[in-house]
Amino acid sequence: MEYLVIIIAAIFVNNIVLNQFLGICPFLGVSSKVSTSVGMSGAVVFVMTIATLVTFLLHEYLLVPLGLDYMRTITFILVIAALVQMVEIVLKKVSPSLYQALGVFLPLITTNCAILGVAILALGFEDATLIKALVFAIANAAGFGLALIVFASMREYLDLIDVPEGMKGVPMSLLIAGLLSLAFMGFTGIV
């Protein structure tokens, strides 16, 4: 039951993008096409899960025992940067079209504060375990992906309808992001 609460809270109630406002850059930048959003969501799921796994183990078995807990943020940033480089190399070989579509936003996962935020927040549970941290990371990545894909779908639809000239592009995107955030606020009382 505890894991179900973590999953529902991370995906809907405390959505990393729409409630905590972490990861806004890729949310707004990669959300013009659903296909690109799905690819970015997959990359974020992979990086967020692996980064949380590695950073949790580093924190619990290296930094804390050695009294280097103050090095947590810089260590986590270095781990995330290395993981993103691995994802970039794999995507370049496995799916060149997706690599090309993601463009500059793939390296931006390195500086995506949602990845770092989840890695740090995963340590904040009262009785933090590796399993809880991984469930938390996967659920947050799913929440990020859900928000990104829904937002991209809405933006693709907006390209098909007549929108006033002054509202095209960024103004309409920000308005839709705000409305989507309000929609997710409706889940607040669930957990």
Query: What pLDDT score was predicted for residue 12?
Result: 93
Q: Is residue 3 part of a domain?
A: no
Residue 83 vs residues 6, 40, 47, 49, 51: alpha-carbon distances, Å: 25, 15, 6, 11, 7
Query: What pLDDT score was predicted for residue 7?
Result: 93
**Successive 10-residue mean pLDDT values, the chain, 191 residues:** 91 91 82 83 86 94 94 92 85 83 70 88 88 95 94 89 84 89 86 71
Q: Is residue 144 part of a domain?
A: yes
CB atoms under 10 Å from CB of 67, counted, come to: 8
Q: Quick one: which of 128, 132, 126, 139 has its CA closest to 60?
A: 128
- Looking at the structure of the chain, the number of domains it has is 1
User: Is the Cα dihedral 89, 91, 92, 93 positive or negative?
Assistant: positive
Q: Is residue 151 part of a domain?
A: yes
Structure tokens at 3: 């894991």
Q: Supply the pTM of this predicted model.
A: 0.86
Q: Is residue 10 part of a domain?
A: no
Exposed, middle or buried, 183 (CB in 10 Å: 0-12/13-18/19+)?
exposed
Domain span at residue 124 reads 19-185
Q: Is residue 56 part of a domain?
A: yes
